[in-house]
Structure formats: structure tokens, C-alpha cells
Amino acid sequence: QVQLVESGGGVVQPGGSLRLSCAASEFTFNSTAMYWVRQAPGKGLEWVAFIKYDGSSRYYADSVKGRFTISRDNSKNTLYLQMNSLRGEDTAVYHCAKDGWGSWYFDVWGRGTLVTVSS
């Protein structure tokens, strides 16, 4: 069955950087668009970033534009999120999700990895 497993979370100081990874399996990763979605503790869901199946299009939420970069390595079935200039408000569980066959919805989600920005 489709599986998405995030890693790379942890505690980082404000202004620091972190790179998240999402290992995908049991679906055709190189034909599937992918997302990052985050959820701050006790809060709702927030879309963070999108990348097309071949990396040719990438979109970002205004809250992370210019600081975060989404990328993928189709040879490794892995999605990434490079996070720079981190702020306290970036503290959240970060989930990767696969697109639902071009219908622009979050079809399957990983369990997430917690990022805590604190001094």
C-alpha cells in the first residue's frame, strides 16, 4: 500500500535551517505531484508547498515564500523541504502528501515530522 514517511524534524534555533525528507513507496512517484502541509500544535492544517511530478512547477504559501524550497529526487522516490530563516511560527508537524491523480487534493498523507523552532 502507498506509504509516505517523513524524517528530518527536530529542534532548531530561530534563524536556523533544516531539511525534511519524505520517502515514498508503492506508487509511481515520478508521475505524481506532491505537497507539504503543516499543522502547528493544537491548530489547523496549512498548505506549505507543491511540486509537479517532474519538478517543473513549484508553488509556495505566502508565509514561507523565499524561505522554503520544495524539491524532489525521482531516482530516489524522495521529496524534500529545505527550510531556511526559521521562525517560531514555523513550529509544526510537517506532513508530506501525494496528489490525487491531478485533481489537486491531498490523497495520502504521511504521519509527519515535528519541527520546533526555539532558542
Partner 1 sequence: QSALPQPASVSGSPGQSITISCTGTRSDVGSSNSVSWYQQHPGKAPKVIIYDVNKRPSGVSNRFSGSKSGNTASLTISGLQADDEADYYCSSYTDSDSWVFGGGTKLTVL
- Site residues (vs partner 1, CB under 8 A): 35, 44-47, 50, 59, 61-62, 95, 100, 103-112
The span from the CA of 106 to the CA of 11, in Å, is 27
Least Å distance, CB 45 to partner 1, is 4
Strands 113-117 and 106-109: unpaired
DSSP state of 29: G
Least Å distance, CB 93 to partner 1, is 9
Q: Which is nearer to partner 1, 44 or 119 (CB)?
A: 44
Is the separation of the CB atoms in 37 and 93 below 8 Å? no
Q: Which is nearer to partner 1, 48 or 117 (CB)?
A: 48
Q: Which is nearer to partner 1, 12 or 97 (CB)?
A: 97
Q: Point out which residues pair with 117 in neighbouring strands.
A: 12
Least Å distance, CB 60 to partner 1, is 8
Q: Point out which residues pair with 118 in neighbouring strands.
A: none
